Amino acid sequence: MEFFNSALGKNITFVRPAHFLIRGFTGLPNIKYYYVFLFIIYLVSVLGNTMVMTVIVLDHNLRTPKYIAVFNLAFVDLFGSSALVPKVLDIFLFNHHHIPYNDCLTFMFFCFTCFSMQALNLVALAYDRLVAIIFPLHYHVKVTHRFMFSLIASLWLFAMTITLIAVCLLTRLSFCNSVVINSYYCDHGPTYRLACNDITPNRVIANLSPILILWLPLLFILVSYCYIAYALSKMSTVQERVKAFKTCTGHLSLVAIYFLPVIFVNIAAVASYIHPNARMINSSLTHTIPALLNPIVYSLKTEEVLNSIRKLCKRYRLSNITSSKKVNTLSLLH
């Protein structure tokens, strides 16, 4: 901390505000309807991801390394949505625009850790598909439960470390001019730009983080599918290729859902000026829509999960029928 504070300079008084003010959207009519829309997205994503997690826990056939990663993705989506959306609704629907300094940094840490893990978790699923198709005979040796748990734990540690560095670097900043954050939550970029001392370390980590937690994961996924495409081309029959490719469609859908909006927003930001309201709408949808669609993809496009849902529903109906019969039998005896 002494190193951070020394960077303030001799002529600048260190100012740590009691709170930040989240400005949010400005000049948009009927914006409260958009927050209701976000609440509906959040509600459906909570139900969907909870369902996916429950099915994986209850069905022993889904307790495989692949579905450990799927479970983690559902948990990240659920945790990330719960960290972001309820607080955003509290800020704007109930006019709690002032957020304490420490609460803002904590809010930022959890949100950015979950956003990072969404991309990193897709790397784990890409590796699973890569080994399953290129080394099918060695899959159960290379991708074990222990390996997947270790991989996911390492990804969590990596995401939390990057985010913690970014958040800790904010504590060296002096906010002597403004405390108004031009975003809909405690966003990293709009926050560090408010500082009146040297923000070079913050700018470096802001530029480095997307490379580490967004573009490198995307590059790994693209390279993985180049190898997968090559392996598919070597298969002898079309039926084998189609069968192998079907195992990748769910993951490819998740990659498209997560990365395409992010790429579009970044290209648009570089190509031209984006109005703050448009940037915030794009950002909020990018952070919430994947959590909504991911469980739908794994419920509707994955035969294993569909079969598990049918099996659990059938088991539930049979248990209800058995229970009702027992009740009727007891009533007759009495």
Q: What per-residue confidence (pLDDT) applies to 202?
A: 95
**Residues recorded for the chain:** 334
Query: Helix, strand, or coil here: 174?
Result: coil
- Taking 70 as the threshold, does the pLDDT of residue 330 lie above it? no
pLDDT bin (cut points 50, 70, 90) of residue 273 is: low
The candidate with the shortest Cα–Cα distance to 127, out of 221, 63, 215, 213, is 221
Query: Helix, strand, or coil here: 63?
Result: coil
% of the chain exceeding 90 in pLDDT: 55
Cβ atoms of residues 173 and 198 within 8 Å: no
Given the structure tokens 């070597």, which residue do they identify?
234
Domains defined along the chain, listed by start: 15-317 (1.20.1070.10)
- Taking 90 as the threshold, does the pLDDT of residue 310 lie above it? no
Distance CA 76, CA 73 (A): 5
Long-range contacts of 158-165 (CB under 8 A, 24+ apart): 158/120, 158/212, 159/113, 159/116, 159/117, 159/120, 159/213, 160/113, 162/116, 162/205, 162/209, 162/212, 162/213, 163/108, 163/109, 163/112, 163/113, 163/116, 164/109, 165/205
Q: What per-residue confidence (pLDDT) applies to 9?
A: 46
* pLDDT tens figures, 161-215: 999 999 999 999 999 888 999 899 999 999 999 999 999 999 999 999 999 999 9
- Taking 90 as the threshold, does the pLDDT of residue 13 lie above it? no
- Strand 98-100 relative to strand 180-181, pairing: unpaired
Pairwise pLDDT comparison (175 vs 283), residue with the higher score: 175
* pLDDT tens figures, 74-125: 999 999 999 999 999 999 888 889 999 999 999 999 999 999 999 999 999 9
Q: Give the HSE-up count for residue 4: Cα atoms under 13 Å, Cβ half-sphere.
A: 15
Lowest mean pLDDT among 12-16, 103-107, 153-157, 199-203: 12-16
Q: Which stretch of DSSP H or E encloses residue 190? A: helix 188-192
Q: For residue 3, how far is the Cα from the chain centroid?
A: 33
- Taking 70 as the threshold, does the pLDDT of residue 269 lie above it? no
User: What is the chain's mean pLDDT, rounded?
Assistant: 86
Q: Look up residue 156 and give its amino acid.
A: W
Whole-angstrom distance between the N-terminal and C-terminal Cα of the chain? 76
Pairwise pLDDT comparison (3 vs 319), residue with the higher score: 319
Q: What per-residue confidence (pLDDT) applies to 264?
A: 77
Residue 90 has a CB neighbour count (10 Å cut-off) of 12
* pLDDT tens figures, 221-263: 999 999 999 999 888 888 888 888 888 888 898 899 899 888 8
The DSSP annotation for 74-134 comes to HHHHHHHHHHHHHHHHHHHHTT--EEEHHHHHHHHHHHHHHHHHHHHHHHHHHHHHHHHHH
Cβ atoms of residues 169 and 163 within 8 Å: no
Pairwise pLDDT comparison (308 vs 251), residue with the higher score: 251
The CA-based diameter of the chain, rounded to the nearest angstrom, is 90
Cβ-proximal residues to 79 (8 Å cutoff; 6+ apart), any chain: 110, 114
